[in-house]
Amino acid sequence: MMRGKKMLTAMGACASLCYGATAFAADGSYFSAMIGTALLSDSTITDAVGDSVDLEFDPGWNFAAAVGCKVGMVRMEGEIGYQINDADEFSGGVLGPLSVSAGGDTDIWRFMVNGYFDFDTGTAWLPYIGAGIGFANVSVNDLSVLGINIGSDDDTVLAYQVGAGLGYAVNPTTTVFVDYRYFATEDPEFSYRQEAEIDSHNISLGLRYSF
C-alpha cells in the first residue's frame, strides 16, 4: 500500500513537470525587449588608394525590441535594434606604431528578421540558438582626430547576426533571458570612397512576453 502511494506520488510529480514544460513552451505571439553592452570591434578604414588606419571603440550600449511568433520549438521575429559606441583612438596602418586620440561616435540602427530554435529541457530553462538577416544604417558622427573634426557620414548596408542564449520561464507568459549575438554588416562606404569594417559582439539581458 505504501509502495502504491509512492508510485502515485511520483507519477503525479512527473505529470506536473510535463504539464509545466508544455505550458512554458506554449505557442503564440510574443513581444521582447533587451538592453546590454555592445563591443564594437576595431574597424579598418580604407581609402580609394588603399591606405588604411584602424579605429578603436569604447564599449557601448545595445538596445533591441522585437515582435514574433513561436510554433513548437521554432520562433520567428522582426527586430529593431540600436547600438552606439564612442570612438577611442586611431592606430596602425599608415600610422605605423603610433596611436592618436579619436572623438565622436558610431551608431547603428538595425532592422532584422530572426529565426530561433529553442531546446526543450523539460524544465523552465530554455537554451536557444538563432540567426538573422536584414539591413543596418551605420552612422559616423562628428569623428575627430586630436580634437580636429573630420566630419560625419552614414551608409545603409546588408547586415546579419548569429547568436545563442539562455532563457528562464518565470511563468507561462513571461521569460527572462541572457543573449549573445555576433553582429556584422557589409562594409559601409563613406565620403571620399572610404570603406569601414563593422562587426560587434553584443551581450544583453531581456524579457519576452507571450500573448
102-135 per-position pLDDT tens digit: 899 999 999 999 999 999 999 999 999 999 999 9
Give residue-wise pLDDT tens across range 172-195.
Answer: 899 999 999 999 999 999 876 688
Instruction: Catalogue the E-assigned strands of 41-173.
Output: 43-46, 52-57, 60-71, 74-91, 99-118, 125-145, 148-171
Q: Among 58, 54, 114, which residue's Cα sits nearest to residue 84?
A: 58
How far is the CA of 38 from the CAs of 21, 59, 107, in angstroms? 33, 6, 11
Look up residue 133 and give its three cell numbers: 538577416
CA 87/CA 96 separation, integer angstroms: 19
Give residue-wise pLDDT tens across range 59-104.
Answer: 999 999 999 999 999 999 999 999 999 999 988 766 777 778 889 9
Confidence check: pLDDT of 14 > 90? no
| Range 2-210 classified under CATH 1.20.1250.20 | no
Ordered by start, the domain boundaries in the chain are 2-210
How far is the CA of 190 from the CAs of 137, 154, 155, 171, in angstroms? 12, 6, 7, 48
Q: Among 123, 169, 118, which residue's Cα sits nearest to residue 17?
A: 123
- Band (pLDDT 50/70/90 cuts) for residue 148 is confident
pLDDT for 48 equals: 66
pLDDT for 88 equals: 93
Confidence check: pLDDT of 32 > 50? yes
In the block, cell 542564449 appears at 165
- DSSP summary character for residue 24: H
> What is the sign of the dihedral through the CA atoms of 87, 91, 92 and 95?
positive
Confidence check: pLDDT of 200 > 90? yes
If you average pLDDT over every residue of the chain, what do you get? Answer: 86
